[in-house]
Structure 1
Amino acid sequence: MQPQESGVHYSRWDDNSRDEVSLAAVSSTEEASCCQRVSRKLCTGKLGVAMKVLGGVALFWVIFTLGYVTGYYVHKCK
């Protein structure tokens, strides 16, 4: 038995009136790499949403602080 290939099959001109898109699953014998597993865990589901919110808040504060410090030195009285 050969492993399944992962990919997308798009069949627009079948007899059905609707377009069909099918995804082939990755074979169960193949194991995801460490980076893919961590990425999948941290970027999906409730944990993924929480990580994106925390990242957005952290980015906001970094930009705010840089703007504040820059504005302070630009508008500093001599």
Structure 2
Amino acid sequence: MDSSGSSNVQYDRWNEDNIHMNVEASQPTARRIYNRVCVGRTGMVVKTAGAIAALVALYFVGYVTGYYVHRC
């Protein structure tokens, strides 16, 4: 194996390009919002809040429906 300077220069150039790459800006807006809201601890909180809101809405619809059905 011969250690030449040209391969090191090419590797350094490639490595420098990846270091300065802004991945966040290259993603579509919808994907950035999804990553921020639906992944990790925040995602767990949002999903839990959504499930509780759905259960409350279902309870409310059932209550109103039962009221009108049994109002005699």
Q: 2:57 maps to what in 1?
A: 62
Aligned residues: CA RMSD: 1.5
**Which structure 2 residue ranges, 5 or more long, are not aligned?**
1-20
- Given the alignment, which residue of 46, 49, 64 partners 2:44? 49
Larger relative strand fraction: 1
> Percent same amino acid at aligned positions?
34
Q: Secondary structure at the match of 1:51?
A: helix
Q: Which has the higher contact order (CA 8 A, sep 6+)?
A: 1
The structure that is helix-richer by fraction is 2
Name the TM-score, length of structure 1 as normaliser: 0.60
Letter in 1 for 2:58: I
For structure 1, the 5+ residue unaligned runs are 1-27
Count of aligned residue pairs for this structure pair: 50
Looking at CA atoms only, which structure, 1 or 2, has the larger radius of gyration? 2
